[in-house]
Amino acid sequence: MVENRPLVLVADDQPEITKLVSLTLQNEGFRVLTASDGPSALEHLSESNPDVLLLDIMMPGMSGIEVLREVREHHPVPVIMLTARGATAQVSEGLNLGADDYVVKPFNAGELAARIRAVMRRSRRGMLAGRRRVAAAVVDLDRRRVEIDERPIRMSRSEWLLLELFLGNEGRILLHHEILTHVWGPEYRDEIAYLRLWIGQLRRKLGIPPWEEGAVRTIQGLGYAFDPQGQLPRMQSRRPRRERPAPRQPVAAGA
């Protein structure tokens, strides 16, 4: 039987907190995994792909802020920070790093469950589902994973947001400023060179050779388009391409 209850990963170094949160969330219909430090949280995150991460910001050793920075580089999971009263600076830093919400300890059980459901709704609004093949990669939208030859490909949050945006707008030309604003915010709307680097990175993660543009088409002077069927007119797509490496010629004996 497939388990479809949402999975919450709770990362906190205080056993009494993780026990309380686990019981609370289980009573609210969630499955719960716990981690007592940052490295364990990152390991669980990679292996179990939870729906939400509850992250204590003030953990010793690898702090919650350091964990959050690592998470936001490699995983799109929604993050709710668990903070102490008066930790305004840490909350501000966490939100700037991409945390979705925060809850102050001690917290109300009903409020915590409501906050988790709210960030899940926001993260899934308009989310695509199922599996798609893109170039050499298989994209599992339900599990938020990309694989090539059954080997998981590490995707940053920005790469995943780019991929989702393209998959949800197949055949449509997305303007530079649309993509930049959607993924990084309005302050990045004019950073076309920055976007070009991320597009190259995304193509590489999908297994597209560097001398091809593949399904992610460059529309010169405008933006990009996800066009796996090649339906857009070729005149609209112009991208300087690297030459495909020529095959090596065998060396004659005695040469």
Q: Is residue 74 assigned to a domain?
A: yes
Least confident of 50-64, 81-95, 176-190: 81-95
Whole-angstrom Cα distance, residue 205 to residue 84? 39
Query: What is the average per-residue pLDDT within 146-164?
Result: 87
* Number of domains present in the structure of the chain: 2
Q: Which residue has the higher pLDDT, 235 or 138?
A: 138
111/174 same-domain check: no
103/37 same-domain check: yes
Q: Is residue 247 assigned to a domain?
A: no
Q: Which residue has the higher pLDDT, 28 or 106?
A: 28
Q: Is residue 149 assigned to a domain?
A: no
165/100 same-domain check: no
In terms of C-beta density within 10 A (0-12 exposed, 13-18 middle, 19 or more buried), how is residue 236 classed?
middle
163/81 same-domain check: no
Predicted confidence at residue 99, as pLDDT, reads 82
Q: Is residue 249 assigned to a domain?
A: no
Band the pLDDT of 2: cuts 50, 70, 90.
very low
Q: Is residue 30 assigned to a domain?
A: yes
Q: Which helix (H) or strand (E) holds 242?
A: none
91/164 same-domain check: no
Band the pLDDT of 202: cuts 50, 70, 90.
very high
Q: What is the pTM (predicted TM-score) of this model?
A: 0.55
57/108 same-domain check: yes
Predicted confidence at residue 236, as pLDDT, reads 44
35/112 same-domain check: yes
18/94 same-domain check: yes
How much of the chain, in percent, has pLDDT values that exceed 90?
29
Is pLDDT of 100 > 60? yes
183/114 same-domain check: no
Domain range enclosing 106: 7-124
23/88 same-domain check: yes
Q: Is residue 11 assigned to a domain?
A: yes
Q: Is residue 166 assigned to a domain?
A: yes
Residue 209: which residues within 8 A CB-CB, separation 6 or more?
244
176/228 same-domain check: yes
Q: Is residue 204 assigned to a domain?
A: yes
The CATH code of the domain that includes 17 is 3.40.50.2300
The mean pLDDT value of the chain amounts to 82
Predicted confidence at residue 66, as pLDDT, reads 92
Lookup result for tokens 């809850």: 103
85/29 same-domain check: yes
Helix residue spans in the chain (DSSP H): 15-27, 38-48, 64-74, 88-97, 109-124, 157-167, 176-184, 192-205
